[in-house]
Chains A and B, each alone.
Chain A
Amino acid sequence: EADIYQTPRYLVIGTGKKITLECSQTMGHDKMYWYQQDPGMELHLIHYSYGVNSTEKGDLSSESTVSRIRTEHFPLTLESARPSHTSQYLCASSDLADSYNEQFFGPGTRLTVL
C-alpha cells in the first residue's frame, strides 16, 4: 500500500547524541519535505528535495542535515542534539507531475532532547 513511513514515532534522547529520523515513502513521489512543528504552532519547512541527490534548505534555518540517495528515502540527521531541537518533525512527499502539488504527510516523529 502506498504510504509514508516515519520512524521512530517518539524519541527521547540526551544532549549531544547523534540522531537520524527516518522517512520513507512508497508513493512513487519525487518531491519530499521535512517540516518542524512546535506544539500548537505552524509548520516550518526546514528541508526539501526534488529528487535523488537534490536537497535544499527550507524557510526555517535548521542545524539538521538531510540526504536523498534513493527516491523513496529522505532521512534527517542531527549531529549533536540539543534541547532546542525538541519538536515534532513531519515528513511529506508530493508528485512532481501533480500541478496542484498536494503534499502527503507521514505520522511524524516527536523528538524530546533532555
Chain B
Amino acid sequence: AQRVTQPEKLLSVFKGAPVELKCNYSYSGSPELFWYVQYSRQRLQLLLRHISRESIKGFTADLNKGETSFHLKKPFAQEEDSAMYYCALRGAGGTSYGKLTFGQGTILTVHP
C-alpha cells in the first residue's frame, strides 16, 4: 500500500525566512512524487514534480529514497506563498497505476 505523510498541519514563517514543508512516503516500488498547491479561492493545481527536477516559484523538492522523503523548500518565503500544500505519490504499476495518493496537507502562512 502507498501512503503519504505530511507531519505539519500548520506552518508559519515570516517573509524572507526559509521554509521547508515536510513530506514522507511509503511505497514498495519506485515512486513518482508531486507537490500540489491550493491558493485561497483557487483550484488545486500542480506545483512541481520530482522527475522534472525543476524550480517553480522559487520552490524545489528533492526525492530522498533513503529517507523516503520529498520535502518542499524555498530559501526566502513570500506572502503570496501562503496556501495549502499537498504532497502526492503516484504508483507505478498494477492496480495503483496512475492513481495519486495525497498527504493530509500543510497550511503555510507567511507573515509580513
Contact = CB atoms under 8 A, between A and B. Distances in A.
Interface residues of B, number: 21
Contacts, number: 49
Contact of A59 (B34, B49, B51, B99): B99
Interface in A63-108: 90, 92, 94, 100-108
Given A41-B104, A42-B86, A105-B43, A100 B49 contact: yes
A42 B43 contact: no
Given A100-B49, A105-B45, A42 B98 contact: no
Contacts of B9: 40
A96 to B, nearest CB: 9
Interface of B: 9, 32, 34, 43-46, 49, 51-52, 86, 90, 98-105, 107
Interface of A: 31, 33, 35, 40-45, 48, 50, 58-59, 90, 92, 94, 100-108
